[in-house]
Structure 1
Amino acid sequence: MASLKEVRNRIVSVNSTQQITKAMKMVAAAKLRRAQDNIIQMRPYAQKLGEMLATVSSGSERGSDSPFKKARPVEKVLMVLVTSDRGLCGAFNTNVIKAAMAHINANYADLARRGNVEVLAIGKKGAEGMARRGFKVTTTFQHLFMKLSFVEVKEAAEYIMDAFAQGRYDRVDLVFNEFKNVATQIIRTEQYLPIADSPNNTQTGRTNINYIFEPEEEKIVNELIPKSLKIQLYRAVLESNASEHGARMTAMDKATDNAQELLKELRLVYNRTRQAAITKEILEIVGGAEALV
C-alpha cells in the first residue's frame, strides 16, 4: 500500500492537472464561439460563390480553358491535410490522418508505392503524422492558426494553384474536419483540383442557357475560378479551426471529469491509509501498555 505522503502528493498533482484542464476548457469555449461565428458567416458566401462559378462555367465557352479545370492523367498527387498545430484535442488530428491514409490506399496505392503522393500540411500535427508514415511533406503552413485570416490562407491556396498549373501535380485532394457541433466533427475528403463539373448543372440543363456577360466572358471566368478556389480552402480552414476548438473543449471536459473521479478514489485511498496508520499506532500503544503490566 502507498504511503500517506505518496497518496497526498498524487492528490495535489491530480488537483493541479484538473485546474489546468478546466482553464483549457474555458479558453477553448471562448475561442470556439468566435470560430463558430466565423464559419457560420462564411458558409453561405462560399456556397453562393460556388453556385455562381458553376453557373458561369456551364454557360461559358471559355470555362474549360482555365488551367484549373484541365484534367490530366493522374501521375502525381498532392494531399492537403488541415490539422492543428497543438494536441490535447482528442482524436481530432488522428482522424484526419487516418482518413487521408484510407483515401490514399483506396485511390492512389500504386502511386504511393512509387513515391508520387506528396503532402501539404496546414498544421504541424498533420505534417508530423504523415512524415512518420513515410510520405514526403512538401511544405507546412504552421503560421496560419496563429493569426487566422483570408490573407494568410490565400498564400497557401496560391501555392497549391501555382503547383497544379505548372504541372507538378495532376490531382489535389483536400482532407479536413467539418464542424457540426461541439461534440461532432465530420471528416471531409474533397477534390480540390482540377475543378470538377457540378452534376447539378447537367441535371437542370443550365448548359443550354445563353448568358450576357459584362465585362467580357473570359475576364469573369478567369477571376471567379481563382477566387472560388481560395474561398474553398479558407472555408476548409475555418471549419477545421472551429472543429479543433470544439474537440479540445470536449476533450478537456472529459479530462476534468476523469480527474474528479480519480480524486475521489485517491481521497478514499488516503482516508483508508490514514485510518490504517492510526489503528496500527493504537494497537502498538495498547500492546506496549499490556507489556508494562
Structure 2
Amino acid sequence: MPNLKDIRIRINSVKTTRQVTSAMKMVSAAKFKKAQDDISYIRPYVDRLAGMIYKLSGSLEEGFELEWSEVREPNKVLIVPVSSNRGLCGGFNANVIKEVEKLCKKDFKMQNMKGNVDIIAIGKQVQKILKSRGYNVVKDYNDLYSDTSFEEVINVAQEMMEGFVSKKYDKVVLVYNEYKNAAVQFIRAEQFLPMALPTEEENTATNATDYIIEPDVPTFIKRVIPDALKTMFYRVILESLASEHGARMTSMHKATDNATDMLSELQLQYNKARQGAITTEILEIVGGAEALQK
C-alpha cells in the first residue's frame, strides 16, 4: 500500500487536472454555443441554395456544359480533411484520419499507389499524423482557425476549384465531421467536385417553373455555382467547428467526472492508510508501555 505522502501527491495532481478539464469544458461550451448558432443559420440557406441549383440544372437543355460538373476519370485526386489544431476532443481527429486512410487504401488505392493522391490538410492534428504515415500532404491551412471568416475560407475553396477547372485534379473529396449534437458527430467523405447535377431521368421530373430567371437559366447557373460552392465549403468548416467544440466539451465533461470519481477513491484510500498508520502507532505505544511495566 502506498504511503500517505504518495497518496497526497496523487490527490493534489488529480485536483489540478480536474480544474484544467473543468475550465476547458467551460471554454468549449462558450465556443460551442456560437458555432451551434452559426450552423443553425447557414444550414437552411445552403440547403435551399443547393436545391434551387439542382432544380434549375434539371431544366437545362441536353449538351449544356458546366466546367464545375465535368465528370472525368479520377486519375488525380485531391482529399481535403478538416480536423482541429488541438487535441483533447475524443475521437474527433482520429475519425477524420481513419476516413482519409480508408479513401487512400480502398476507394483511391490505384491512384495512391501511383502517387496521384494529394492532401490539403486543415488542422494541425490531421496534418501531423498523415505526414508521419507517409501520405502526400502538399499544403496546409492550419491558420484558418485563427480567423474563420467567410473571406478566408473561400480562398481555400477557390484554390480547390481552380485546381479542378485547370484539370490538375479530376476529383476533390472533403472529409469532415458533420454536427448533430454535442455528443454525436458523423464522419463524412463528401465529393466536392465535380458538382453532382441531375441525371437525364431526373431532368424529366424537375423544372424551373417556380423561378423567374434573368437573363436566362444557363447564364444564371454559370454565375451562381462558383459562389454556391464556396458557401457549401464554408458550411463544411462551420460543421467541423461545431463538432470539434461539442466533442471537446463532452470529452472534458467526462474527464472531469472521472477525476471526481478518482478523487473519491483516493480520499477513501488516504483515510484507510491514515487510520492504519494511527492504529499502528497506538499499538506501538501500548506495546512499549507494556514492555516498560514488565
TM-score range, shorter chain: over 0.9
- CA drift of 1:77 comes to 0.7
One-letter code of the match for 2:232? Q
Unpaired stretches in structure 2, ≥5 consecutive residues? none
- For 2:31, the equivalent position in structure 1 comes to 31
Q: Percent identity?
A: 47
Q: How does 1:166-177 map to 2 (within 5 A)?
A: 166-177=166-177
The answer (yes or no) to whether the contact 1:59–1:209 under 8 Å persists in 2 is: no
The answer (yes or no) to whether the contact 1:174–1:192 under 8 Å persists in 2 is: yes
- State the distance in 2 between where 1:276 and 1:183 align: 44
- CA drift of 1:207 comes to 6.0
Q: Structure 1 pair 52/61, CA: closer, same or farther in 2 (3 Å)? A: same
- CA drift of 1:166 comes to 1.5
2:124 pairs with 1:124: yes
Q: How does 1:96-245 map to 2 (within 5 A)?
A: 96-198=96-198, 202=202, 205-206=205-206, 213-245=213-245
Task: State the secondary structure of the residue aligned to 2:68.
Answer: coil
- For 1:274, the equivalent position in structure 2 comes to 274
- For 2:10, the equivalent position in structure 1 comes to 10
Q: Structure 1 pair 63/40, CA: closer, same or farther in 2 (3 Å)? A: farther
- For 1:50, the equivalent position in structure 2 comes to 50
Q: Structure 1 pair 263/177, CA: closer, same or farther in 2 (3 Å)? A: same
- CA drift of 1:221 comes to 2.1
- CA drift of 1:62 comes to 9.1
- State the distance in 1 between where 2:12 and 2:215 align: 70
- State the distance in 2 between where 1:239 and 1:174 align: 12
One-letter code of the match for 1:141? Y
The answer (yes or no) to whether the contact 2:56–2:207 under 8 Å persists in 1 is: no
Task: State the secondary structure of the residue aligned to 1:75.
Answer: coil
- CA drift of 1:106 comes to 2.5
- For 2:256, the equivalent position in structure 1 comes to 256
TM-score norm. by structure 1 comes to: 0.93
Q: Give the count of matched residue pairs.
A: 293
- State the distance in 1 between where 2:89 and 2:208 align: 49
Bigger mean CA offset, 98-107 vs 54-63: 54-63
In the TM superposition, what whole-angstrom CA distance separates every residue of 1:59-95 from its partner, at most 9, and x where no partner exists? 2349943322111111111111111111010000101
Q: Structure 1 pair 38/66, CA: closer, same or farther in 2 (3 Å)? A: same
- State the distance in 1 between where 2:286 and 2:6 align: 28
- State the distance in 1 between where 2:64 and 2:44 align: 26
One-letter code of the match for 2:144? L
- CA drift of 1:58 comes to 2.5
The answer (yes or no) to whether the contact 1:55–1:201 under 8 Å persists in 2 is: no
Task: State the secondary structure of the residue aligned to 1:86.
Answer: coil
The answer (yes or no) to whether the contact 1:78–1:169 under 8 Å persists in 2 is: yes
- State the distance in 2 between where 1:132 and 1:63 align: 46
The CA RMSD measured in Å over matched residues stands at: 2.2
Q: Structure 1 pair 64/39, CA: closer, same or farther in 2 (3 Å)? A: farther
- CA drift of 1:116 comes to 1.2
- State the distance in 1 between where 2:208 and 2:232 align: 27
2:73 pairs with 1:67: no
- For 2:246, the equivalent position in structure 1 comes to 246
- CA drift of 1:289 comes to 1.4
2:88 pairs with 1:92: no
- CA drift of 1:283 comes to 1.6
- CA drift of 1:203 comes to 6.5
One-letter code of the match for 1:229? L
- State the distance in 1 between where 2:12 and 2:126 align: 35
The answer (yes or no) to whether the contact 2:85–2:142 under 8 Å persists in 1 is: yes
The answer (yes or no) to whether the contact 1:11–1:267 under 8 Å persists in 2 is: yes
- For 2:78, the equivalent position in structure 1 comes to 78
- State the distance in 1 between where 2:261 and 2:274 align: 20
TM-score norm. by structure 2 comes to: 0.93
